[in-house]
């Protein structure tokens, strides 16, 4: 249970402050009529917390489900509750600057339309991406039609690509678990994810930034509005930045300080973030900006007003990440593994007493393990864990040793009855992995997952458990390949495109293949060479043409067409075109719908 003060209504007051209008109905559809966002589905959260939800998470859901256009301060507005993230609008001399255009073209367009219906038809004169996560750039085509400056932190594209392309398929499958977008909403179902309600499911795009923010203290004037930047690389995202509007006395905290404990590693998977650096940048934000702003807002949740409250809020957020970092290392250096440290680490009462330090999105438990992972990796140092059997092989042996499936299921029921749901889940997971055809075991495990979900303070844990139980009962929720749209592919550099192809090479199938292709890009004036040998596709930029088995003359767009199987149209060549077929023949398609709770 939470120690935060139940009768303190400050968060509700702040979440409602400046409300102008809500979208009614709060449903956004795509061109073909598909619902990509439905915030009205959360109307049930107006009621009291049922026994099937953690009171803290229910309260967070009530706050986050608020939806509409809000005035933050003179000249700054936010549209909240129309996607996982917020869109912030800053009025300039001739139009409006959009900070973070949500995930989908459709929700971004709806948010901008809501703003315009109350503030007039101001043209979008610039876009700012606070960082390289898809909920902060994916909807850009919903707000930008022509060419406008797009500002982003240095390293934005590299970060966007590595997080969304290289491991993108696995991450989006796991994100389906984490955000629960496919789950039914309701008191026993999805009630948000802590950071927002869920992810929209419209079309995702990316326009590369045109203005790179490369240093702290850099100032830019955009549409007549002065902005002073603070780079915060390695915090919530490898490329991220806070910034001050000195003339408006407003501070944008990107996603570095939100109204929950954030993730040091997200359950969808990510490179582990650095809690030490995160804390130090929050402290720098206090020293640089706190005396010069009357409101601090972020790209999730609601703003915080008044200088003393801003300092208090940022200080607690700083201490939260610093405490997690330092105390985990203290415990690690006493010989505790990540799993042990996660059980041992207690948060200080002063941090527990605030609402915004609670683990609705990140959790103390999985963040401690993330710190362990960052410093020491996957191995806990115990040789018994160095070379374990994979899950199915282990499960078969465990079930055999414990006397067969029925015996294990009976034992699991005992643990479940005694309230040890964690071990009940562990046992039943072995039965299911030993025999995925065991319907009774799957149903029993689904019931345990439901109970774990209903007790969880963390929204992403709740969603993971609920998706697990849903897929145990109904099979895999298939989803269309979400993250990589053609628009996004077109935003990549040639090197990134070749990287994306290289990770699809089926090694064993390519062991005996050897081929070289020169790619002469007419739009770039560059020749790149790719070589496939030893099952690896490597590439070099800026080579002198000649000597390859095949030379192709083409544009970047034609290259995307070629490797996505749309043929050779308009592409010039010298040499054996069959080489392309040999390359395509060794590429594997990723599996967008791989199994998680069954083998």
Binding site for Zn ion (CB under 5 A): 85, 133, 135, 255
Q: Which is nearer to Zn ion, 85 or 558 (CB)?
A: 85
Q: Which is nearer to Zn ion, 133 or 462 (CB)?
A: 133
Least Å distance, CB 475 to Zn ion, is 30
Q: How far is it, in rounded angstroms, from Cα 593 to Cα 476?
A: 7
Least Å distance, CB 339 to Zn ion, is 28
Q: Which is nearer to Zn ion, 254 or 421 (CB)?
A: 254
Interhelix angle 405-417/421-434, nearest 10 degrees: 160
Q: Which is nearer to Zn ion, 58 or 179 (CB)?
A: 179
Q: Which is nearer to Zn ion, 204 or 579 (CB)?
A: 204
- The residue of the chain with the least Cβ separation from Zn ion equals 135
Least Å distance, CB 553 to Zn ion, is 41
Q: Which is nearer to Zn ion, 260 or 469 (CB)?
A: 260
Least Å distance, CB 253 to Zn ion, is 12
Least Å distance, CB 85 to Zn ion, is 5
Residues near 87 by Cβ (< 8 Å), separated by ≥ 6?
A: 78, 79, 98, 99, 100, 101, 102, 108, 111, 112, 115, 143
Adjacent-strand bridge partners of 97: 90, 126
Would you report the helix, strand and coil content of the chain in percent, each value rounded to 5?
Answer: 40, 15, 40
Q: Which is nearer to Zn ion, 85 or 317 (CB)?
A: 85
CA–CA distance from 115 to each of 197, 287, 333 (Å)? 21, 33, 52
Q: How many CB atoms lie within 10 A of CB 113?
A: 14
Q: Which is nearer to Zn ion, 133 or 374 (CB)?
A: 133
Least Å distance, CB 217 to Zn ion, is 25
Q: Which is nearer to Zn ion, 85 or 164 (CB)?
A: 85
Least Å distance, CB 510 to Zn ion, is 37
Least Å distance, CB 133 to Zn ion, is 5
Per-residue burial over 373-404, b = 16 or more CB atoms within 10 Å of its CB, e = otherwise? ebeeeeeeeeeeeeeeeeeeeebeebbeeeee
Q: How far is it, in rounded angstroms, from Cα 357 to Cα 591?
A: 37
Q: How far is it, in rounded angstroms, from Cα 474 to Cα 191?
A: 20
Least Å distance, CB 541 to Zn ion, is 33
What angle (nearest 5°) sits at the alpha carbon of residue 179, between those of residues 174 and 185? 130
Q: Which is nearer to Zn ion, 140 or 452 (CB)?
A: 140
Q: How far is it, in rounded angstroms, from Cα 569 to Cα 555?
A: 11
Least Å distance, CB 194 to Zn ion, is 12
Closest CA to 367 of 273, 268, 232: 273
Q: Please give the DSSP secondary-structure letter assigned to residue 387.
A: S
- Map 207-246 to HEC letters: CCCCEEECCCCCEEEECCEEEEEEECCCCCCCCEEEEEEC
Least Å distance, CB 127 to Zn ion, is 16
Q: Which is nearer to Zn ion, 133 or 369 (CB)?
A: 133
Yes or no: say if 227 and 220 are a contact pair by the CB < 8 Å rule: yes
Q: Which is nearer to Zn ion, 363 or 469 (CB)?
A: 363
Least Å distance, CB 129 to Zn ion, is 11
For the residues of 53-94, what is the DSSP string, one character each? Answer: S-HHHHHHHHHHT--EEEEEETTEEEEESSSSS-EEEEE-SS
Which helix (H) or strand (E) segment holds residue 340: the answer is helix 338-344
Q: Which is nearer to Zn ion, 237 or 562 (CB)?
A: 237
Q: Which is nearer to Zn ion, 85 or 463 (CB)?
A: 85
Cα Rg of the chain (Å, integer): 25
Least Å distance, CB 80 to Zn ion, is 13
Adjacent-strand bridge partners of 516: 531
Yes or no: say if 63 and 468 are a contact pair by the CB < 8 Å rule: no
Q: How far is it, in rounded angstroms, from Cα 463 to Cα 421?
A: 16
Yes or no: say if 197 and 64 are a contact pair by the CB < 8 Å rule: yes
Q: Which is nearer to Zn ion, 125 or 299 (CB)?
A: 299
Closest CA to 37 of 57, 23, 20, 50: 23
Q: How far is it, in rounded angstroms, from Cα 246 to Cα 58?
A: 36
Yes or no: say if 244 and 266 are a contact pair by the CB < 8 Å rule: no
Least Å distance, CB 187 to Zn ion, is 26
How many residues in total does the chain contain? Answer: 599
Which helix (H) or strand (E) segment holds residue 252: the answer is strand 250-252
Least Å distance, CB 299 to Zn ion, is 6
């Amino acid at each position: 249970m939470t120690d935060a003060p139940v009768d303190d209504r400050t968060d509700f007051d702040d979440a409602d402050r400046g409300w102008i209008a809500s979208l009614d109905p709060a449903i956004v559809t795509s061109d073909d009529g598909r619902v990509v966002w439905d915030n009205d589905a959360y109307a049930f959260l107006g009621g009291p917390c049922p026994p099937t939800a953690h009171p803290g998470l229910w309260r967070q859901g009530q706050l986050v489900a608020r939806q509409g256009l809000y005035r933050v301060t003179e000249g700054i507005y936010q549209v909240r509750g129309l996607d996982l993230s917020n869109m912030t609008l800053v009025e300039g001399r001739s139009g409006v600057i959009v900070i973070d255009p949500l995930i989908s073209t459709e929700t971004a367009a709806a948010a901008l339309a809501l703003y315009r219906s109350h503030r007039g038809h101001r043209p979008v004169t610039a876009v700012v991406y606070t960082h390289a996560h898809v909920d902060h750039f994916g909807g850009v085509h919903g707000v930008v039609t022509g060419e406008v400056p797009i500002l982003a932190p240095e390293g934005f594209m590299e970060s966007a690509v590595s997080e969304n392309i290289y491991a993108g398929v696995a991450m989006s499958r796991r994100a389906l678990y984490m955000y629960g977008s496919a789950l039914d909403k309701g008191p026993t179902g999805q009630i948000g994810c802590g950071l927002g309600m869920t992810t929209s499911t419209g079309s995702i795009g990316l326009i590369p930034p045109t203005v790179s923010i490369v240093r702290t203290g850099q100032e830019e004037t955009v549409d007549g509005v002065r902005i002073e930047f603070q780079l915060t690389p390695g915090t919530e995202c490898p490329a991220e930045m806070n910034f001050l509007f000195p003339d408006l006395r407003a501070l944008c905290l990107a996603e570095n300080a939100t109204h929950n404990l954030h993730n040091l590693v997200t359950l969808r998977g990510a490179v582990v973030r650095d809690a030490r650096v995160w804390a130090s940048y929050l402290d720098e934000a206090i020293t640089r900006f706190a005396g010069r702003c009357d409101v601090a807002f972020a790209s999730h949740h609601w703003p915080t007003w008044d200088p003393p409250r801003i300092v208090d809020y940022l200080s607690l957020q700083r201490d939260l990440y610093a405490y997690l970092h330092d105390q985990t290392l203290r415990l690690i250096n006493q010989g505790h593994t990540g799993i042990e440290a996660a059980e041992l680490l207690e948060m200080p009462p002063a941090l527990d007493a605030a609402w915004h330090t609670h683990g609705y999105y990140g959790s103390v438990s999985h963040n401690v393990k993330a710190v362990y992972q960052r410093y020491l990796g996957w191995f806990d140092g115990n040789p018994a864990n160095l070379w374990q059997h994979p899950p199915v092989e282990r499960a078969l042996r465990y079930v055999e040793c414990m006397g067969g499936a029925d015996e294990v299921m009976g034992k699991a029921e005992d643990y479940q009855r005694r309230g040890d749901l964690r071990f009940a889940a562990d046992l039943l997971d072995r039965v299911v992995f030993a025999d995925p055809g065991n319907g009774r075991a799957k149903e029993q495990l689904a019931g345990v997952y439901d109970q774990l979900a209903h007790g969880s303070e963390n929204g992403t844990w709740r969603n993971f458990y609920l998706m697990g139980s849903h897929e145990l009962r109904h099979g895999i929720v298939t989803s269309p390949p979400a993250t990589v749209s053609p628009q996004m592919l077109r935003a990549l550099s040639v090197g990134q495109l070749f990287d994306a192809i290289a990770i699809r090479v089926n090694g064993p199938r390519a062991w005996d293949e050897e081929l070289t292709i020169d790619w002469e890009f007419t739009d770039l004036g560059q020749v790149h060479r790719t070589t496939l040998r030893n099952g690896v596709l490597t590439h070099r930029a800026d080579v002198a043409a000649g000597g390859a088995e095949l030379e192709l003359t083409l544009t970047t767009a034609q290259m995307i067409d070629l490797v996505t199987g749309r043929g050779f149209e308009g592409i010039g060549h010298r040499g054996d075109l069959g080489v392309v077929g040999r390359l395509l023949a060794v590429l594997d398609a990723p599996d967008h719908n791989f199994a998680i709770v069954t083998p």
